[in-house]
Structure 1
C-alpha cells in the first residue's frame, strides 16, 4: 500500500473520489454515520500500528452489526466523496472481497434514513390522495388481503378481510379479522377509542406533523400547555406516541385529506424509527421498511407496529409486515403476516358492496 504522502497515492485518491458508482447519493444521516464510524476507527487505540496481512480493523465500540466497512485510506476518501464500499469477511485466508447482495434479483437499495422515507411517503400521499367527504349516515367499506405464514412449517394461508364501518360511529359496524367477522356496536356516550374511527374526530386531528404529535400526546397523557414542545417528551412518552401513530396508520386505511401525510411525517420525527432495506411485501415486491426500536423495551423484545413497507423509489406505501403467535410453550406457533389494502369505497348500507369492488 502506498504511503499517503506519495504523490501517486494522492492521485489514486483523487481518481477514486471522482469515481461515479452509478448509485444515488447518500442522504445526510448515512453520511454522518459513515464519518462517525471512520473517525472511531482512525482514533481507536493502536490504529497507527502496522497490521499483519489479512487482519481486520476493529472498532472500539461494539454495536449491533450493520455494514462492515474496510477503512483503508482509499475507502476513507470514498466515504468523504459520498459513497460507501461494503465488503464481507470470509474464511478464505482472511481476505476481503466485494460483498454480493443476498438475493441477486433484488433491485439496488440506496441507504436512506427513516425520515427520508417517511417524508417521501408523505409527499407521495399528498400528490395521490383522493379527497373524500362521506355523509354521517354512510359506511366506509374496506377490503384487505392478509397472507399469513407459519414460521416453522412455511405453510401460508391467505385471508380476505372486508369491513363496513359507520362513518359517524352511531351505527353498528361489521369488522373482520383472519376470516372471522362480527358486529361491533356503536360506542356509548362516554366511550372513546384510539385510533378514532368516526369521521368527525378524524377531521379534528391536526394535519401539521408537530401539532399531530402534540395532539396524540395530549390524547394519551391529558396534558398540553401553550408552550408544549417536542423537546420535553420523554422516551416512555415517545413510545406511547409511536404506538398511537402506528395504530392510526394501520387501523384507519382511509383518512380525511392531509391526515395520512401528516401521520407519516410525524412518525418520522419519533426517535428510534429506522429504515430497513430489502423487505418484501405480500405481492413479492421489494421495498424499504420502517420499524421502531423502542428504548423502553428489553433488548430483543419487539414493540407494536411491525414494518411499514414502501416502494424504494417513489415511496408509495406497499403494505404491512407483522407477527402474531398462538398457543404457548411447546405448542406456540409464530406467524408472519403480510397485508395490504386492496380497495375501499363509501356505501350507503352495511354489507353493501360498491360496484367497483363487487
Structure 2
C-alpha cells in the first residue's frame, strides 16, 4: 500500500539537519547564558587558565631543580604578583608626575582648537562657541543623579574586580600545584568509553592554549617596546603607561594593539602637535606590520593555525557576549577548539584507515553422513 503523504528526500534531509542544528544552538545559548550568569566565577577561572598556561613550565623547571612542587608554585605566584603590582606602581608614578604637564598641554590644545574653529574653514563666531560651552556645562550640571548612579555602579564593579582577582589568584595557584589531579577528576566525570578521547582532546587543547598564550605574550611585549621606544624618541609623555596599555591591548589580536597604539597617537597630538602625532602614527603602523608579517607567522607557526577571519569573528562574538573580557578570551578559546577539532578529525581518519586484523583461514566443517 502506497504512503498517503510522501516527503521529498531533500526536505527530509533538511529537517533532520534543522532539528539537530536547533538542538546544538539551544545548547550553545544555554552554555553562554550559564557562563554570563556565573561570570564572577567563569571569567576569573578563564584568566587563571591563561596565567597557568603561561607559567606552568616555570613551576616544572623549579621542581626539576629539586624544589618541592608546593614551594615552586609559591615562588611563581609571588613573582607574578610582584610583576603585576610593580607594573601598576610604575604606571601610577608616571601618571602622577606627568599629569600636570599633560593637563597644560590639553588646555593649550583646546585653545588651539577654539582658535582654529574661529579662524579656520568652520568660521564660527565667539557666541556660537560660547553657546556650545554653556550647553556642555548645563549638561554636566544637570547630570548629578546620573553621576551618582554611575559612581555606585563603579563601586560595584570595583568590588567584583577585587573578588575576581582573588578567585583568579587562588585558582591559578591550585592549577599550577595540582592541575593533573584536577584534570583527572574532570575526565572521570565522562563515560568510560569516552575518557580516552576526552583526555587526548584536553591535552591537545592545552598544548594549543600554551603555545598561543606564550606567543601572544612575546608579540605583546614586542609591540609595547616598539611603540613605547618610538614615543620616547619623539618626546611623547607617559611612555611607560603607553607601553603597558599596548602590552595589555595586544592580547586581543589584530585590533587590540592598533587601538591602544591610537592612544599614543592622541597623546602625541595633544602634547606635541600634529607632526609628532603623524610620526607616532607611522611608528604604530610599522610595528603592527612587523607583528602581522613576521612575529605572528613565526611564533604561532602551524601549532596554532587560526584564520584571520575566524579571529575577527571570534573577537566580535566575544565582545557581544562579554565585552572586553569576551574579546580577550574568545581567541584562545577559538585556538583550543581549532586544535581539538583537528585532533578529533585526525583520530577518526586514523581509525577508519586502520586495516582490519588478518584472521587465519578455517576450513568448513565436514558435512555429516
What TM-score does the superposition give when structure 1 sets the normalisation length? 0.21
Larger Rg: 2
Of Structure 1 and Structure 2, which has the larger fraction of its residues in strand?
1
Of Structure 1 and Structure 2, which has the larger fraction of its residues in helix?
2
What TM-score does the superposition give when structure 2 sets the normalisation length? 0.21
